[in-house]
Amino acid sequence: MSSSSISKIKNGLLIGVGLLLPITAGVWAGNMLVNYVSSSESYESDDYSGYSELTTDYAELISVEKFTDKSKDGKVNILGTITNKGEVSVGSIKLEAEFFNNEGEFVQEQSTYISKKLAPNESENFQITCTCKGQSLPEYTKITVRTVSAHSF
């Protein structure tokens, strides 16, 4: 081996070690910082109890106060009013109208969403219409309207 080859190998080793030392020091310092932060913070399940409100269904708080059947010519059109009877604001409300025939048999349903967030004791009007093209409304004699779901987000 010539002296220039040996010199190149030495220089390569010095450059490699010169790059490896700061990288190693950076990884070690980062690891120490992560371990220090994670050991100084404690997470208890109570810290996240607020998230239960996001998944809680508040449907029982939304009362269907009144509704009228304005359906005609085979088209569904239910108009009414709901009220938030709870103590928390509730939104993302899904209402469902179910139609029954003379024998009390279920024949159809339609639903709607109300995105407005209702404060406690606040009321809001709603309309449930048929969203199906070409589908005729079967014979019915009774309609029920109920709150299917409601959330506080």
Q: Parse the chain into domains and list their residue ranges.
A: 3-41, 57-151
Q: What is the end-to-end Cα distance of the chain in Å, rounded?
A: 75
For residues 12 and 117, the model is more confident at 117
Q: Is the Cβ–Cβ distance between 25 and 107 less than 8 Å?
A: no
- Range with the poorest average pLDDT among 9-23, 30-44, 83-97, 139-153: 30-44
53 has pLDDT over 90 = no
The amino acid present at 100, given as its one-letter code, is: F
Task: Write down how long the chain is.
Answer: 153
Residue range 85-122, pLDDT digits in tens: 999 999 999 999 999 999 999 999 999 999 899 999 99
Q: Is the Cβ–Cβ distance between 133 and 66 less than 8 Å?
A: no
User: CB-based contacts of 86: which residues, under 8 Å, 6+ apart?
Assistant: 58, 61, 120
Q: Does domain 57-151 have CATH number 3.90.110.10?
A: no
| Mean pLDDT for the chain overall | 83
Q: What is the largest CA-CA distance in the chain?
A: 106
Q: Count of CB atoms within 10 A of residue 146's CB?
A: 13
For residues 4 and 39, the model is more confident at 4
Q: Give me the pLDDT at residue 24, please.
A: 82
Residue 145 is encoded by which pair of tokens?
């309207």
For residues 6 and 102, the model is more confident at 102
Q: Give me the pLDDT at residue 16, please.
A: 74
Distances 15 to 11, 27, 58, 153 between C-alpha atoms, Å: 6, 19, 66, 57
Q: Give me the pLDDT at residue 148, please.
A: 95
- Range with the poorest average pLDDT among 34-43, 72-81, 104-113, 128-137: 34-43
Residue 110 is encoded by which pair of tokens?
């339609």
